[in-house]
Amino acid sequence: MAKHEAKVVIIGSGPAGYTAAIYAARAMLDPVLIRGVQPGGQLTITTDVENYPGFAEAIQGPWLMEQMEKQAAHVGAAIVSDHVIGLDLSRRPFRLECDSGDVYLADVVILATGAQAKWLGLPSEQKFKGFGVSACATCDGFFYRGKDVIVVGGGNTAVEEALFLTNFAKSVTIVHRRDAFRAEKILQDRLFKNPKISVVWNVEVEEIGGGGSPPKVTHLKLRNVHTGAVTERAADGVFIAIGHAPATELVAGQLKLKPSGYVWTAPYSTATSVPGVFAAGDVADDVYRQAVTAAGMGCMAALETERFLAAHAEDRVAAE
Site residues for ligand NAP per CB under 6 A: 51, 120, 152-158, 160, 177-178, 182, 204, 242-244, 289-290
- Would strands 3-11 and 103-111 be described as parallel, antiparallel, or unpaired? parallel
**CA angle in degrees (0–180, nearest 5) for 156-45-215:** 95
Taking the CA atoms of 115, 120, 125 and 126 in sequence, report the sign of the dihedral they define.
positive
Q: How far, in Å, are 20, 182, 273, 298 from residue 55 at the CA level?
A: 21, 25, 37, 20
Distance separating alpha carbons of residues 106 and 8, to the nearest angstrom = 6
Question: Catalytic: which of 30, 48, 88, 139?
Answer: 139
Return the number of the residue (140 or 160) whose C-beta is nearest ligand NAP.
Answer: 160
Cβ 190 to ligand NAP shortest distance, Å = 11
Distance separating alpha carbons of residues 26 and 22, to the nearest angstrom = 6
Longest dimension (CA), the chain: 74
- Concerning whether 82 is annotated as a catalytic residue, the answer is no
Contact in structure between 10 and 280 (CB atoms under 8 Å): no
Return the number of the residue (152 or 309) whose C-beta is nearest ligand NAP.
Answer: 152
Question: Catalytic: which of 107, 140, 236, 282?
Answer: 140
Q: How far, in Å, are 247, 260, 261, 266, 293 from residue 257 at the CA level?
A: 12, 8, 6, 11, 19
Return the number of the residue (106 or 120) whose C-beta is nearest ligand NAP.
Answer: 120
Cβ 9 to ligand NAP shortest distance, Å = 26
Return the number of the residue (80 or 294) whose C-beta is nearest ligand NAP.
Answer: 294
First to last CA, the chain: 34
Cβ 156 to ligand NAP shortest distance, Å = 4
DSSP state of 280: -
Cβ 157 to ligand NAP shortest distance, Å = 3
Distance separating alpha carbons of residues 84 and 247, to the nearest angstrom = 12
Contact in structure between 283 and 315 (CB atoms under 8 Å): no
CA atoms within 13 A on the CB side of 108: 32
CA atoms within 13 A on the CB side of 38: 17
Return the number of the residue (18 or 181) whose C-beta is nearest ligand NAP.
Answer: 181
Return the number of the residue (157 or 270) whose C-beta is nearest ligand NAP.
Answer: 157
Overall residue count recorded for the chain in this entry: 320
Cβ 312 to ligand NAP shortest distance, Å = 35
Cβ 21 to ligand NAP shortest distance, Å = 22
- Concerning whether 30 is annotated as a catalytic residue, the answer is no
Question: Catalytic: which of 82, 99, 102, 136?
Answer: 136
- Concerning whether 140 is annotated as a catalytic residue, the answer is yes
Q: Cβ-closest residue to ligand NAP? A: 155
Q: List active site positions.
A: 136, 139-140
